[in-house]
Amino acid sequence: MTFTRDFWAVLSCCAMMTLSRCHADRLLPPTDLSYKWLDLLTVNVSWSWQRPIDLPEKCEIQYELRLVEKEERKEGHRCPKRTFLKNVADSCLTKQSNSDHWTYSIHTLGHNCDGWNSSTNVTITVKCPEGRADLVKNFKCVLEPSGMNCSWIPVHPSHELKLSHRVCGSSEKLRKSFKECDRPYSTGMRNGCYLNVTVGENNICIVANSKIGWSIIEPLLVIPSSKLSIREDNHHLNLTWMPPEVGKYCSWKYNFCYTQCNGPEQCLLSSSTHRMPYDENCLYKFRSRVLNGTHCPGMNSDWSEFVSYGVNKPPDGTLTVAVIVIPIILCVCVILSCYCFRRHSDIICPNTPDPSAIFKEMVMNGNKEHKTTAESLYTPVPEVVEPCKITLVSATSALQQNF
Ligand SMILES: *[C@@H]1O[C@H](CO)[C@@H](O)[C@H](O)[C@H]1NC(C)=O
Ligand SMILES: *[C@@H]1O[C@H](CO)[C@@H](O)[C@H](O)[C@H]1NC(C)=O
Ligand SMILES: *[C@@H]1O[C@H](CO)[C@@H](O)[C@H](O)[C@H]1NC(C)=O
Ligand SMILES: *[C@@H]1O[C@H](CO)[C@@H](O)[C@H](O)[C@H]1NC(C)=O
Ligand SMILES: *[C@@H]1O[C@H](CO)[C@@H](O)[C@H](O)[C@H]1NC(C)=O
Ligand SMILES: *[C@@H]1O[C@H](CO)[C@@H](O)[C@H](O)[C@H]1NC(C)=O
Ligand SMILES: *[C@@H]1O[C@H](CO)[C@@H](O)[C@H](O)[C@H]1NC(C)=O
């Protein structure tokens, strides 16, 4: 009797303990993690998970996948990912030449689970398929209306390279849409080909293959630089750029730099038109480039060639001559003629009075008027003439003196 009572007491205690534990428990993390490459761009990570019998019926289980490394992701790929399924086909790709592996951390989440907390994290390290190699350098694609004109410097020029491309993503439809690059060409150091894609609407993923290995290419997208037209309008210049033929949906910005009269270069950011004051005496030199607008990140053009407008006119000379040079010449002439006149006054006009002397006289003597004008005038000082004495010496006496 006591035995059964004690037994029930212990049993109900255990049951209560279990119940109370359940309400403060953690969900279990996923188990049996594995992965499989579906193509060079897409990995399928899968796992299993056993639903506990005491989990409330309404409790919904989700799994969250995060990337552990703080590696740069290709734009447009969302991570972390949440899923109700027990697998994820992911193409969160690390950039070219980064490490050949990465690690996901996965945990279980519950909704409406009456106090069941999310699980601890489990990790899985994904290794890239064998044979990753650096095959190209300086991979660049010029966006043209007909597609992308891509070119690169091959790392191993003796090995033929095959490029394939598709819109990035992990769905089966996308994985089956790989296309080869066509119309291959070669110019100097660079090789190239054309990608027949509508530019910009989706991310394009490119894979290069050769005997040496494979690599995923992150192209640098370049748009052709836009033509600048310059119009003069009421002491102003109107600058207008033709929008690029590609990316009609992008709102582009124009970065332009100019010099005025060989001055220092100034740079500004503009929309497709810009109005600026214009100095008609100056030569202007412009260069510009297109920058990615709000909807087209990372799409820029190279700098354009220089475009000139106007001419450098020399500073207006006639005014300087009139204001400075003519008065100087006149002064010099007057001084010289005065000097000449004074010097040869006896010839030109013998009795010309010395004007400075007259002036001095007036100042010094004030209103005294008893001095005669004759005294104040120039009186030549009589020259002292030594009287000559001529002595006649007879030739004989001179001869006598000598002998
Ligand atoms: C569950 O989460 C709550 C709130 O975050 C916390 O107070 C509690 O200790 C957690 N329980 C367990 C078993 O980790
Ligand atoms: C990923 O792998 C799991 C298990 O092998 C499979 O059930 C699932 O269909 C695969 N997903 C894709 C997109 O192939
Ligand atoms: C699991 O990892 C994520 C980030 O990777 C972190 O925010 C979270 O706190 C981790 N959870 C646990 C239970 O450690
Ligand atoms: C493609 O690019 C190459 C090198 O940049 C150039 O020589 C070629 O003219 C371009 N093709 C077209 C159709 O613009
Ligand atoms: C480019 O692709 C479109 C369809 O996507 C096709 O109609 C066109 O003929 C292709 N052009 C070239 C040059 O292959
Ligand atoms: C220059 O731009 C102004 C305003 O941006 C406009 O009113 C004017 O008509 C333009 N002039 C020319 C010649 O395009
Ligand atoms: C262009 O894109 C870069 C990132 O790719 C961004 O940092 C920059 O702000 C963008 N520029 C404009 C003008 O939107």
Centre of ligand 3 from the C-alpha of residue 42, in Å: 25
Centre of ligand 5 from the C-alpha of residue 195, in Å: 10
For ligand 2, atom 7, name the residue with the nearest CA. Answer: 87
- Side chain identity at residue 253, one-letter code: K
Please state, in angstroms and rounded to a whole number, the distance separating the CA atoms of residues 279 and 286.
15
CB 132 within 8 A of CB 94: no
Q: Which atom of ligand 5 approaches the CA of 183 most closely?
A: 13
For ligand 6, atom 2, name the residue with the nearest CA. Answer: 238
Q: Which helix (H) or strand (E) holds 376?
A: helix 373-376
Alpha helices (runs of H) in 86-217, residue ranges in sequence order: 172-175
Centre of ligand 7 from the C-alpha of residue 277, in Å: 29
Q: What is the CATH number of domain 228-310?
A: 2.60.40.10
Q: Give the model's pLDDT for residue 322.
A: 62
Task: Write out the chain's pLDDT in tens, 403 residues.
Answer: 445 555 554 445 444 444 444 445 888 999 999 999 998 888 899 999 988 888 888 889 999 988 776 555 544 455 668 888 888 887 756 554 456 778 888 999 988 888 888 999 999 988 888 888 889 999 988 888 778 899 999 999 899 999 999 888 888 888 888 999 999 999 988 999 999 887 655 678 899 999 999 988 878 888 888 899 999 999 999 999 998 887 777 888 999 999 999 899 999 999 999 999 999 999 999 999 999 877 777 778 889 999 999 998 876 666 566 666 666 767 665 666 756 667 766 666 656 556 566 556 655 665 554 544 444 555 556 565 555 555 554 544 444 444 4
Q: Give the model's pLDDT for residue 228.
A: 93
Q: Which atom of ligand 2 approaches the CA of 44 most closely?
A: 1
Q: How many residues does the chain have?
A: 403
Q: What are phi and psi of 189, to 5 degrees?
A: -75, -25
Domain 136-223 CATH superfamily: Immunoglobulins (2.60.40.10)
Under DSSP, is residue 182 helix (H, G, I), strand (E, B) or coil?
A: strand
Please state, in angstroms and rounded to a whole number, the distance separating the CA atoms of residues 145 and 156.
31
Under DSSP, is residue 31 helix (H, G, I), strand (E, B) or coil?
A: strand
Alpha helices (runs of H) in 136-248, residue ranges in sequence order: 172-175
What's the fold here for domain 22-127? Immunoglobulin-like (2.60.40)
For ligand 7, atom 5, name the residue with the nearest CA. Answer: 298
Please state, in angstroms and rounded to a whole number, the distance separating the CA atoms of residues 104 and 45.
9
Query: What stretch(es) of the chain map to CATH 2.60.40.10?
Result: 22-127, 136-223, 228-310
